């Protein structure tokens, strides 16, 4: 055969099978195989990766709920089990499907990896996630919590230092993929949206070329970063309990926006009680777009609990407008010093030292972390400082009710004992006698004066008794010597004394009989046995 002359060696069985004409059944089988392979490749879901850093396991689960909040369950998914979230130990994992606007077609599947602690021990776990194939489809998400805003910059620094240590050990193809991703995002800032096969950008018609602004993309991470400040409903609590004002909220926002510009990151405030644009922001950062409905992503830097700063939107000028006096350039320059390795200071076993764990690790000169923590003070540390150095706060610490009552009982008992001792030593009427006297005075005031009718004239008996006593005292004090008393008919002192005693006893008797009469009611008229028993008006 002429075909044998084309081969130097003997004909193999495989060559014979290939040259043999196929039967009708084999042809049909090959046709269906090719069709099934093409359909399978066409229906293959785009896979995206989301690496969630920071937050507690509960906060991470709340983030996943927010991601799926705008995706209602499809009818045929009611009996489908919800994906398990494994994030209690080390590196966690779960997945989510992104549905189209009609909730029928699946646009992509998200593989979500979760890590809570920025420990150097987890570097070997994170490094396999970043390959040349996965890096263009990966988004970094950093979770912060409004329950502890004074820790945000320290947490940001620790995570960025960890990510840098992970990416620095990647292979060359992965590093090249990171450079291409960063170049693509920077080109999006400049308004270039179409790329040819060689990787160079060509501007589309109508796009305006924008240069990178100052402080933007100075410290790229190789992948897009989204920072989420969760539990924004706690903002009002900071204002009431910690005494925060608008200056503190604006300072935090300006600080975050300045340092996130250096990494080309986006920023959003979220809460469980209010709707937000978190799913739209995440999907747009991953390049996932609905085929039926285009969702616009609008920035918001006015509402302090609904902040949204998309990728490539911010600039130093927009940050300065928020509040005057913030040093944007100095903060941006100092952040470069903060994220220099090693941060925090480490021992030989790659674990934080005791000083770094307590927040006392040394920062390089010019770093901005100390400035942030001196402005946004941790209340747990401020309680340990001297009361003279601490600023006045609105919050007031109170004792439990039973402890307070016990202390008051001891004080009352001690004061009562001191009062009794003072009353016994100085012979001052005790509290009971003083109270009885006040009681009698109130009763007499309520009853009023006792009045009697003396010859058709109303006479106040109490007033008459006081006048008689005063008259008696004046008479005794003015009594002359016995030899100086004249005999011109003037009454002697003994006679005057006897007359006063008689009048005194007379009015005292009237007082006893008229005590029960109402106020301002004439008492019983005195029974006059003769003219000498009825005193005159003058008397």
pLDDT by residue (tens digit) across 476-496?
666 555 554 444 455 566 776
Dist. CA 523–CA 333, nearest whole Å: 101
pLDDT value, residue 481: 53
pLDDT tops 60 at residue 202:
no
Average pLDDT over residues 501-526: 59
Cβ atoms of 306 and 247 within 8 Å: the answer is no
Helices 461-477, 493-514: crossing angle, 10 deg rounding: 160
The residue among 247, 286, 250, 248 whose CA lies nearest residue 266 is 286
Dist. CA 94–CA 472, nearest whole Å: 109
Please give the model's pTM, rounded to 2 decimal places.
Answer: 0.60
pLDDT band at 263 (very low <50, low <70, confident <90, very high): very high
Q: Residue 321 burial (CB < 10 Å; 0-12/13-18/19+)?
A: exposed
How confident is the model over 343-376, as pLDDT tens digits? 444 333 444 444 444 444 556 778 899 999 999 9
Lowest mean pLDDT among 164-168, 212-216, 220-224: 212-216
Measured in whole angstroms, the distance separating CA 498 from the mean position of its chain's CA atoms is 90
SS3 (DSSP) at 522: strand
pLDDT value, residue 517: 46
pLDDT tops 80 at residue 47:
yes
Domain ranges within the chain, ordered by starting residue: 44-200+209-382, 450-477+494-524
Average pLDDT over residues 239-258: 93
Percent of residues, the chain, with pLDDT higher than 90: 34
Pairing of strands 106-115, 92-99: antiparallel
pLDDT tops 90 at residue 328:
yes
pLDDT tops 50 at residue 471:
yes
DSSP run (H or E) holding 145: strand 138-145
Share the mean pLDDT of the chain.
75
User: Which residues touch 166 (CB under 8 Å, ≥6 apart)?
Assistant: 123, 126, 127, 130
pLDDT value, residue 51: 96
pLDDT value, residue 297: 81
Gyration radius of the chain's alpha carbons = 49
Which has the higher per-residue pLDDT, 345 or 189? 189
Q: What sign has the CA pseudo-torsion 507, 510, 512, 515?
A: negative
């Amino acid at each position: 055969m002429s075909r044998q002359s084309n081969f130097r060696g003997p004909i193999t069985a495989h060559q014979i099978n290939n040259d043999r004409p196929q039967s009708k059944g084999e042809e049909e089988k090959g046709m269906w195989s090719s069709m099934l392979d093409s359909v399978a490749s066409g229906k293959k879901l785009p896979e995206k990766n989301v690496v969630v850093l920071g937050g507690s396991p509960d906060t991470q689960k709340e983030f996943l709920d927010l991601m799926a909040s705008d995706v209602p369950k499809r009818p045929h998914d009611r009996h489908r089990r919800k994906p398990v979230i494994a994030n209690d130990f080390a590196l966690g994992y779960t997945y989510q499907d992104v549905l189209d606007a009609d909730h029928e077609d699946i646009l992509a599947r998200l593989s979500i990896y979760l890590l809570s602690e920025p420990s150097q021990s987890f570097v070997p776990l994170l490094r396999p996630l970043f390959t040349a194939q996965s890096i263009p489809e990966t988004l970094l998400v950093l979770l912060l919590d409004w329950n502890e805003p004074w820790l945000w910059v320290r947490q940001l620094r620790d995570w960025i230092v960890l990510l840098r240590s992970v990416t620095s050990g990647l292979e060359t193809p992965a590093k090249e993929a990171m450079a291409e991703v960063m170049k693509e995002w920077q080109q999006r800032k400049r308004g270039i949206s179409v790329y040819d096969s060689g990787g160079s950008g060509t501007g589309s018609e109508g796009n305006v070329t924008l240069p990178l602004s100052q402080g933007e993309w100075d410290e790229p991470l190789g992948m897009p970063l989204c920072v989420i400040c969760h539990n924004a409903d706690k903002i009002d609590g900071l204002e009431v309990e910690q005494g925060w004002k608008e200056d503190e909220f604006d300072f935090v926002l300006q600080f975050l926006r300045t340092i996130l510009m250096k990494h080309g990151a986006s920023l959003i405030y979220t809460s469980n009680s209010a709707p937000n644009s978190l799913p739209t922001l995440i999907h747009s950062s991953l390049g996932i777009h609905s085929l039926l409905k285009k969702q616009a992503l609008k920035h918001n830097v006015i509402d302090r609990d609904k902040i949204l700063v998309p990728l490539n939107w911010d600039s130093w000028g927009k940050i300065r407008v928020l509040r005057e006096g913030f040093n944007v350039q100095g903060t941006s320059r100092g952040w470069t010093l903060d994220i220099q390795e090693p941060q925090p200071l480490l021992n030989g076993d790659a674990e934080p030292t005791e000083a770094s764990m307590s927040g006392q690790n040394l920062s390089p000169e010019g770093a901005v972390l100390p400035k942030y923590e001196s402005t946004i003070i941790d209340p747990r540390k401020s309680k340990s400082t001297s009361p003279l150095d601490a600023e006045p706060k609105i919050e007031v610490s109170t004792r439990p009710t039973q402890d307070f009552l016990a202390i008051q009982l001891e004080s009352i008992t001690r004061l009562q004992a001191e009062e009794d001792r003072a009353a016994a030593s100085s012979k001052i009427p005790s509290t009971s006698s003083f109270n009885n006297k006040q009681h009698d005075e109130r009763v007499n005031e309520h009853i009023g004066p006792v009045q009697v009718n003396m010859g058709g004239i109303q006479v106040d008996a109490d007033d008459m008794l006081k006048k008689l006593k005063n008259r008696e005292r004046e008479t005794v004090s003015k009594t002359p010597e016995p030899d100086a008393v004249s005999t011109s008919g003037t009454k002697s002192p003994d006679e005057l004394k006897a007359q006063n005693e008689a009048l005194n006893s007379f009015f005292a008797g009237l007082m006893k009989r008229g005590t029960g009469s109402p106020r301002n009611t004439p008492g019983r008229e005195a029974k006059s046995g003769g003219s000498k028993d009825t005193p005159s008006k003058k008397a």
